[in-house]
Chains A and B, each alone.
Chain A
């Protein structure tokens, strides 16, 4: 598979994005990399398929879709990778930071789905993958607005699996554990869950970018043609470790 197929990675700055892109490109899929949260909202590379549009802006995403269609044709896979861990306590976070965390993580999923999901539904074919976190179920103890947003994304996926599923577009969530690059962002003073994780994870290591790329590759393949609305936990069994104190 992969002939004339195109995937959009919504936030190519995710630590797993490069591995995902390499894996998809090795399968013959054209990968469009987007870099949100940058001031220059235009093509950021002379050669290639890199863009810098804000994923939580409907106007930006419509413009991105138009540019991709113009340059490359249809989008077949939406891979939502926006994953901004904003460390803050509920007790004293500002209104602005709360909204920012929700926009970066949840609104970006909603807006990209609204634009690219509808685009794929009109073709009657496509796959949406939300690269999320196990913190859509397990609280972080350090980034409440982040997990609140990811809880919303989990339900977005289920609603979309119904709504766009009827139009030939599948949607699934990957609930990944944290990668080495995200370790400090999820360090909590009130929850020891992520502390010394390698000794708690039965498989004795953190998730790697390649693990995530493998699941993404599987979910867009024909082998996963009947998987829709699923939450695929990718944590080596980490959440099974209960009662850490």
Chain B
């Protein structure tokens, strides 16, 4: 295998980093954290055609692979970029692409690519595992309409997205229905990270036209594949955030002096930073491997996605905990930017199943022969 970015991919990485340095500085993240909006950032991303990065050119996108998407997501995580990108591109669009008929895809994907529609993906109903056997929300046919019942929980951008891909049971089958957010009851969280706001959704009595039911027949496998994409996206974004925490810590450990020497000369500090570095590199490698499996349609994509999510979870745990400890008192203030990164790093672990759940999935898939 060739496991390093190509020159073109490195160029994309530089471009995204430069744009975000300009358009999404820590001041913007702080403003959002303190109640502001980031609409201009989204407008900029749309003007750069980034929402359609991996959408096929026939649907108005750029047609890049999942590796290019991973590069963008890592930079978004590094900058703690707020806005609808993650949920729209890596959850809503993934679900639509995996499940929709070609005709439906040609309706929805151009809307995503052009930035006309933002989206979300509603799966979990309270178990916090995002496992499909926990889905009991139901759709029933009533003439030309579908009538929904049940609740969805922990939906990223559930309070703000235009359209929500909702996983429901219809008869005995798992299906996805695209529901306008305005048709749902929405209960937004007071979030630990204001750059990624989750919400609970009340589906009861919601009525949508039947043409919003995606695909034909049971979509369990396709939904699982879409969830795997969401896992990889969260993982690589978390890697970016943790990379930034590591950089801030290293910088601080070189500058901050106590006992007349930089605290980075103490082995107690060095070894923490070395472990953070190892965990970031490990999680990055596994995240890009998963992205590469998605890009090439490799059969290891599912186990790779869970390895990435588990590794990102372990990485964020170390980087948030030791990352704050190394900063000492100054890191414990609201004024310091560190907490912006710590908050984002933790959010990823709390959704789509935590590290332990995914380690167990990796083990089960491996015992069943999933990773040759």
Chain A partners chain B: no
Q: Which residues of B are in contact with A by a Cβ distance under 8 Å?
A: none
